[in-house]
Amino acid sequence: MNVKKQFSDGLFFQNPVTVQLLGMCSVMAITTTLFNGIGMGLSVLVILTLANIIIALLRKIIPNNIRIACFIVVIAGFVTIVDLCLQAFLPALSSSLGLFIPLIVVNCIILGRAEAFAYKNGPGASALDGIFQGLGYTMILVIMCVVREFLGNGTFGGGILNGGEGIRIIPEGIPALGMILPVGGFLTLACVIAAMQYILSRPKKDEKKTEEVAK
């Protein structure tokens, strides 16, 4: 179990959004305020971690031909728990996220990690995989929320700071409202993916230059 590698993979080299390109629907739909991004990210992190642990514990007794159905049953159980907890303790967040919480059941990130990692590894490594992949997902959500909220509404910390209205940075009437619409989600996500791919490609370019100089 290589904790350092799992950490770097979850946040950067195998980030579920910018590298694996999973869970794109919720990423573009709910990233309009910081409150939504943090809430959705932490919900996915908790569900992903717990589902990974249970699937890893049961991997030796889950029949291979019905494993996907078993994964969905486990994930659905934790999604229901999280959904009910949000309705009870954070009704504003539950109302804001709407159907995207129940839809975590079929989120490609959770199903993908269950199939690719938890079903093949022990509970300890699977728990870390869930935490780091969830952190990577949350990081991208927060980045997108900050950018879209700032450019589209002119505020920061919507739903959390200043009584939920956020701290106004740009005067009203100036922000580009299109950034908080679906088109803004596509544009922001495209820029985030491009930036991440550029950053990840630089070490490879540096290695090639080093090899060329050595020759």
Token representation of residue 38? 């943090």
Paired residues of 167 in beta bridges: 156
Element (H, E) at 168: strand 167-168
Q: What is the pLDDT of residue 55?
A: 97
**147 Cβ neighbours under 8 A, 6+ residues apart:** 179, 188, 192
Which pLDDT belongs to residue 131? 97
CB 74 within 8 A of CB 4: no
Give the bridge partners for 156, in sequence order. Answer: 167
Tens of pLDDT, residue by residue over 29-71, are 899 999 999 999 999 999 999 999 999 999 999 999 999 999 9
Q: What's the pLDDT at 165?
A: 87
pLDDT at 213 over 80: no
pLDDT at 207: 61
Confidence at residue 25, expressed as pLDDT on a 0 to 100 scale: 87
Q: In this predicted structure, what is the pLDDT of residue 6?
A: 94
3-state secondary structure of 59: coil
**Average model confidence (pLDDT) across the chain:** 91
Q: Quick one: pLDDT band at residue 173, thresholds 50, 70, 90? A: confident
Most confidently modeled range among 43-57, 98-112, 171-185: 43-57
Instruction: Please report the pLDDT score of residue 202 as a whole number.
Output: 80
Would you give the DSSP letter of residue 62? S
| CA atoms within 13 A of residue 210's CA, in its CB half-sphere | 6
pLDDT at 163 over 90: no
- Which one has a higher pLDDT value, 196 or 203? 196
64 class by beta-carbon count within 10 Å (0-12 exposed, 13-18 middle, 19+ buried) = exposed
pLDDT at 208: 62
Q: Nearest CA to 20 among 113, 114, 128?
A: 113
Tell me what percent of the residues of the chain surpass a pLDDT of 90: 78
pLDDT single digits (tens) 4-25: 999 999 999 999 999 999 988 8
Question: 131-152, pLDDT tens digit by residue?
Answer: 999 999 999 999 999 999 999 9
